Amino acid sequence: MPETTKILEVEHLCQYFTSGHGRNRMTVKAVDDVSFSVRQAETFGLVGESGCGKTTTGRAIIRLYNPTSGTVRFDGREISGPMTRSLSDYLSRNMAMIFQDPIESLNPRMTIEEIVGESLRLRGMSREEVHRQVVAMLEKVGLTEEHATRYPHEFSGGQRQRVGIARAMIARPRLIIADEPVSALDVSIQAQVINLLNDLKQELGLTILFIAHNLSVVKYFSDRIGVMYYGKMVEIAESDDLYSHPLHPYTRALLSAIPQPNPLTERKRCRVDYAPERDHDYSREKPEMHEVEPGHLVYCSQTELARYRQELNG
Amino acid sequence: MAQETILNVRDLRVSFRAYGGTVQAVRGISFDLRRGETVAIVGESGSGKSVTSKAIMGILPSNASVDAGTIMYDGVDLAHAPENVMHDIRGKRIGLVFQDPLSSLNPIMKVGKQITEVLTRKGMDRKQARAKALQLMKDVGIPEAERRINQYPFQFSGGMRQRIVIAIALAGDPEIMICDEPTTALDVTVQAKILELINALKAERSLSVIFITHDLGVVAQMADRICVMYAGKIVEMGTAEEIFLQPAHPYTWALLSSMPDLDTRDRLAAIPGAPPNMIHPPKGDAFAPRNPYALNIDFEEEPPVFRLSETHYAATWLLHPKAAKVDMPESLARRIQRMKEAGGRA
């Protein structure tokens, strides 16, 4: 398969949540008409502030929610339709998720072997085979065989996240959805986990949807990045392009807010604010996703599109 | 920078009684805070940075004890002051901003009342206190203060809640403000605004700030001077430029290298292993087991503090005149070069 095959295609995905009944009924558009695709063996980063819908997008793809509308295709097969036995089986064989909180996401009453090997056991694999594979996977993520019989509370945060990674990887999924996998960890441990994910990605040819808010980490780890704001995807680009030529005013505001470990630039830095009412005039033209240049998409109106093109070329 | 010293911490040791033994959280740290400056304390979780701030405020939990050392503020030793003396200092002359604005506010008390509480306790009448609270809310950038003063914490967003906490900390007109990870729970865009606010208030009120964080980016933006803590000790101390551009301790090197900046492409230099168990702190330099540059003596004896300049100190045997000269990792040197170039451009 060529490198550029689209393995995951998300089209017009909407995920709404409702609360209350009758007159008090409210709808929250957590993800509103989001489209993007992820290529085979690439890392696609999703960034945005809390509440922008990045986690919901990931969870809707792996079907922890039932999407309100839109289609999601994985390797050509639609996975956003009604949940059937065969779809559920297909999802669990092909996708896995790594969660943010390594404490909450591991069952405190199960041993590491039970946690990591659960999906294999559910497929009817023999006890010896599960054990063999669990130990091999633990070694791959930097743990040892003796850890297999222990319980989650006996581990440090970084080790727990390694367990979470082992659990996600053991069924040999083709797509990993990593939801803030390092934000709960200390700086020195973050680097260990990022390196581990990078090694596994190379070794197993994984495709990763990487959801995070730390932009330096996302930039380092991702090939392409999608920026979300209030349920909308506002910009998609190669990560270098996004950082060197951000076009959408929200992307600019977000980039200007990342603190950089350099006192020489930090003190002089000037931050950009994003105010949707001030920055856009959508009274006459509706904004849409436009390709400003190949591979660089921005959510904008025709007038803005012309201006962005000029900026890029000028 | 020859301003007067406002707070002086000398050889502070704090330990906790816990199951399985005594945790030595802070093992003899010393630093000064001068008027109008920001000192940042950087370290990973468990390095003792928050314990230090709690010791200064006199709010250590009941299983903790200050074993040695002094914290001198205005002629009073805060480490050993009786509660009634601390009562007049805490919140009035030293303000504190915590990490999580939701758990540091009272959920069933209107925010206005939480701000005026400090003022009425100082003997101000209620009307004056309310006017002052409104002014404070405006100072910290809360729009529609007249309406919002009667709201409860849950009606505010995370950033606005943190502004309320800052307003409460400022209500007593403190000289010193201790910010313990004030923006860790916030989004980057909100964080940027809160940091700007703290810097503006500091300049306006000539506050001295102790800023505790693990985020080196935030430190670079806020700090005049930096203390790097590891395993209950300050391993390196210097001005922001000295720590970022001429780091001398291997732990500082490792910390700087392990975090990607926007130009990092190489493999990240992760610090191997995990921080030590502080019930049984390792003999010698606590960082030695994770330190590729460790010398034999690092495992035997604690390194003394070497003076590199008027303001720059580091505790590592590598600086001993008899030690072989070791340069910082090349990738870090390249990164510092990039930092200097970026600084020249900006």
Dihedral-angle region of residue B217 (phi above 0 means left; psi in -120 to 50 means alpha; beta otherwise): alpha
The residue-averaged pLDDT of B122-131 equals: 90
Å from A88 to nearest chain B CA? 35
Are the Cβ atoms of A259 and B190 closer than 8 angstroms? no
List strand residue ranges (DSSP E) for chain A, in order: 6-19, 26-39, 43-47, 69-74, 77-78, 95-98, 175-179, 207-211, 224-229, 232-238, 288-293, 296-300
Q: Tell which residue, B237, B181, B202, B220, has the closest CA to residue B37.
A: B202
Maximum pairwise Cα distance, chain A? 66
Q: Answer yes or no: are the C-beta atoms of A211 and A46 closer than 8 Å.
A: yes
Judgement on whether residues A200 and A293 belong to the same structural domain of the protein = no
Arithmetic mean of pLDDT, A27-31: 92
pLDDT value of position B258: 86
Tokens standing for A121? 């056991």
Looking at the fold, whether A123 and A110 belong to one and the same domain comes out as yes
Joined tokens for residue B105: 């506010």
Residues on chain A touching B195 (C-beta within 8 angstroms): 259
**Which residue in B has a C-alpha nearest to residue A49's C-alpha?**
B187
* Token pair for A257: 């807010």
Q: Which domain holds residue A275?
A: 246-314
Work out the percent of chain B whose per-residue pLDDT is above 70: 99
B64-78 pLDDT tens trace? 999 999 999 999 999
The arithmetic mean of pLDDT across residues B144-153, rounded, is 93
**Under 8 Å between Cβ of B102 and B162:** no
> Span B225-254, mean pLDDT?
95
CB contact (8 A) between residue A191 and residue B271: yes
Average pLDDT value for chain B = 90
Residues A240 and A260 grouped into a single domain: no
Say whether both A239 and A265 belong to one domain.
Answer: no
For B220, which of A156, A192, A260 is closest by C-beta distance?
Answer: A260
Shortest Cα distance, chain A CAs vs residue B272, angstroms: 8
Q: Are residues A141 and A287 in the same domain?
A: no
B187–chain A Cβ distance below 8 A for any pair: yes
pLDDT of B185 over the 80 cut: no
Listed residues A217, A244, A271: the one ending a domain? A244
Counting residues of chain A whose pLDDT is more than 90, the rounded percentage is 61
B48: left (phi over 0), alpha (psi -120 to 50) or beta: left
pLDDT of residue A191: 87
The answer to whether the CB atoms of B259 and A216 lie below 8 A apart is yes
Question: Stretch B37-44: mean pLDDT, rounded?
Answer: 94
* Residue at which a domain ends, from A214, A244, A274: A244
**Are A93 and A7 contained in the same domain?**
yes
Counting the structural domains of chain A, the total is: 2
Question: Which range (A168-177, A243-252, B258-267, B270-279) has the least confidence?
Answer: B258-267
Query: Do A136 and A236 have their domain in common?
Result: yes
Same-domain pairing of A139 and A9: yes
For residue B138, give the amino acid letter.
K
Instruction: Please name which of B118, B137, B152, B156 lies closest in space to residue B201, comparing C-alpha atoms.
Output: B137
CA of A271 to nearest chain B CA: how many angstroms apart? 8
Write the pLDDT tens digit of every residue in A106-138: 999 999 999 999 999 988 999 999 999 999 999
Q: Which residue numbers of A have CB closer than 8 Å to B's CBs?
A: 49-50, 156, 158-159, 186-192, 194-195, 198, 213, 215-217, 219-220, 243, 253-254, 256-269, 271, 274
Split at pLDDT 50, 70, 90, the class of B311 is very high
pLDDT band at residue B346 under the 50/70/90 scheme: low
Mean pLDDT of A231-240: 94
pLDDT at A2: 46
CA B267 – CA A230 distance, rounded (Å): 33
A208 and A265 share one domain: no
pLDDT at residue B2 greater than cutoff 60: no
Distance CA A245, CA A248 (A): 9
Q: Rounded distance, CA A58 to CA A65, Å?
A: 10
Q: Which residue of A has its CA nearest to B290?
A: A188
Q: Tell me the per-residue pLDDT of A236-247, one tens digit each, with 9 for 90 and over.
A: 999 999 999 999
Q: Which of A21, A44, A20 lies closest to A34, judged by CA?
A: A44
Could you say which DSSP state residue B120 is in?
H
Q: Which residues, numbered 304 to 343 in chain B, qualify as contacts with chain A under a Cβ-Cβ cut-off of 8 Å?
A: 339-340, 342-343
Task: Chain B: give the shortest CA distance to residue A187, in Å.
Answer: 7
Which amino acid would we find at residue B185? A
CATH classification of the domain holding A78: 3.40.50.300
Q: Are B92 and B122 in contact (CB under 8 A)?
A: yes
> Is A221 found in the same domain as A262?
no
Final residue belonging to a domain, choices A244, A273, A300: A244
pTM over 0.95: no
Average pLDDT (B243-257) is: 93
Q: Report the residue of chain B nearest A194, measured CA to CA.
A: B268
- Three-state SS at A256: helix
pLDDT in tens, B127-142: 999 999 999 999 999 9
Residue B108 pLDDT more than 90? yes
Nearest CA to A242 among B69, B262, B141?
B262
Q: Are strands B76-77 and B64-73 parallel, antiparallel or unpaired?
A: antiparallel
Rounded CA-CA distance B132/B138 in Å is 10
Q: What is the pLDDT of residue B123?
A: 84
Cβ within 8 Å, pair B268-A266: no
A151 and A205 assigned to the same domain: yes
Q: Dihedral angle at the C-alpha atoms of B206, B212, B215, B220, nearest 10 degrees?
A: 30
The answer to whether residues A313 and A196 belong to one domain is no
pLDDT for position A223: 94
